[in-house]
Structures are given as C-alpha cells and as structure tokens.
Amino acid sequence: MNPILLGLDVGGSSIKAALVDVGTGKLVSELKSVSTPQPATPERVAEACVEVDRELGGQGPVGFAFPSVIYHGIARTAAHVDPGWVGTDGAHLLGSRLARPVAFLNDADAAGLAEMKWGAGRDTTGTVIMLTFGTGIGSAVFIDGKLLPNTEFGHLQLPRGEEGEAWASARVRTEANLDWPAWAERVNEYLATLHALLWPDVFIIGGSVTEHFDRFGRLLESPADIRGAQFAGQAGTVGAALAARARLA
C-alpha cells in the first residue's frame, strides 16, 4: 500500500491541504482551503496548519510548501507573508507542534515536483520552467528532471522597469480588472523576458488560474512549448506530500 501523507500549501491568501497517495499523486481526501491568518506570522500559520492536520487526520511526515526561499531549511524571504518568517526553521516550527517530521520547501518548487512527476512535465527532458500565477508569481526550474531550487523569477525585472509579478500575476489581473486577452499580453511580455535569459524548452503555467487555461492558453506565445499544469491549484499540495515522502524514506 502506498503511503498517504499530508501536503500543506501555504500562500499569501489561503492555505490548501489534502491527504495524498504519494504513489500515484491522487488526493484521497477533500482539498481543504482556509484563509491564511493575517498577519501571517509563523506562530499563527503554524496554528492554522495544526488545525487543518487535525481535521484531515494526517499521519506520518508532512510536506510544508511555503512562499519563500528555503535555504538549508531556513526561510530567507517573506514577499507575501509576515516578515517574521525570515530566519525561521519551518520544519522545526511545525514539526514541534505536530510531533512528526516535516519537509519544508518553496511552494513553486513543490508545484513543479508534482507536475514533473505526474503532470504536464512527466517524462520531459531539457529545461522546464514551472510558473505559478497567484498572489505573486512563483517559479521552479528543472534541467533533465532535476530541480534547481529557490529560483525567484517572479521578481525578475521586466524591460519596462517593473517586477514580473507586479505586472502579470493573477492578483494583478483581478485588481486591474483585466480581461483574459489583456492579461495574456502581459504574461507574454513576462515569458519573453524569461525566454531571452534562459531559453527553456517548456513553460508549464500553473496556479489556480490554470482552471481557466482554455480561455487564455491559446493567447500565450513563446518559442518554448507552453503547457497548462495538470494539477492546477492542487500542484503545491501534491508536491509537498511528495517531498514528505522523501522524509519517510
């Protein structure tokens, strides 16, 4: 029997969680979503995660995907959460409350792991860039299936002088009331800047916005192949559970 592990995907606005069969990548519980506490301090986020774990009945190692550079287990940035996260050992913080091992990793890296294992990047070689469009823009880079962790291409400066996520995130689309064609133009500008620097073979477009990929995907342009993420808004949760499996091993 495959292990059933909890994956937690913490974002600037919500925490998503589910029990995942880490042999298949399939959810075996509901995908639970709760609002991220405000302010999103380490203690309040940990409390919310403990409550979600209690409701779902998780057992064994836990995957904890988080919107930060995670360097040697320590959060080094806090772009959309409380600055108190900088310097926090997330695995110890949550693990001490759950009394179980915790795998702590960047949220876009987690989403990329899921897509490369079971989704749009499965069996794909070359350079693949996973992009998650949400409150900001997360990125995960894979070279022949191997992750280069902690890329922060959402903060890449575009030729116009703005950060990529300040111009083309899903949050910006909502706040600026952009229709899909207008937003796709912004995303194309962002993709062109990334392509000029890295020359990827494939872009995988992820985040909850992927639920509408049929409405904007055909409007995206790049010399690279563009694919919609198969896990959509579940990718971070599934990838977090996959990272937890490594702890189990």
Q: Kindly list the domain boundaries of the chain, sorted by start residue.
A: 4-109+235-248, 123-229
**Same fold? 4-109+235-248, 123-229:** yes
CA 143 distance to own-chain centroid: 18
Choose which CATH entry (3.40.30.10, 3.40.50.620, 3.30.420.40, 2.60.34.10) describes domain 123-229.
3.30.420.40
Instruction: Count other Cβ atoms within 10 Å, centred on residue 199.
Output: 11
User: pLDDT of the chain along its 249 residues, tens only?
Assistant: 789 999 999 998 899 999 999 999 999 999 999 999 999 999 999 999 999 999 999 999 999 999 999 999 999 999 889 999 999 999 999 999 999 999 999 999 999 999 999 999 999 999 999 999 998 999 999 999 999 999 999 999 999 999 999 999 999 999 999 999 999 999 999 999 999 999 999 999 999 899 999 999 999 999 999 999 999 889 999 999 999 998 776
Backbone φ, ψ for residue 77 (5° rounding): -135, 165
66 near 79, Cβ under 8 Å?
no
Which residues 6+ apart lie within 8 Å of 92 measured at CB?
Answer: 73, 102
224 near 148, Cβ under 8 Å?
no
CATH code for the part of the protein at 4-109+235-248: 3.30.420.40
The tokens describing 165, both together, are 């996520």
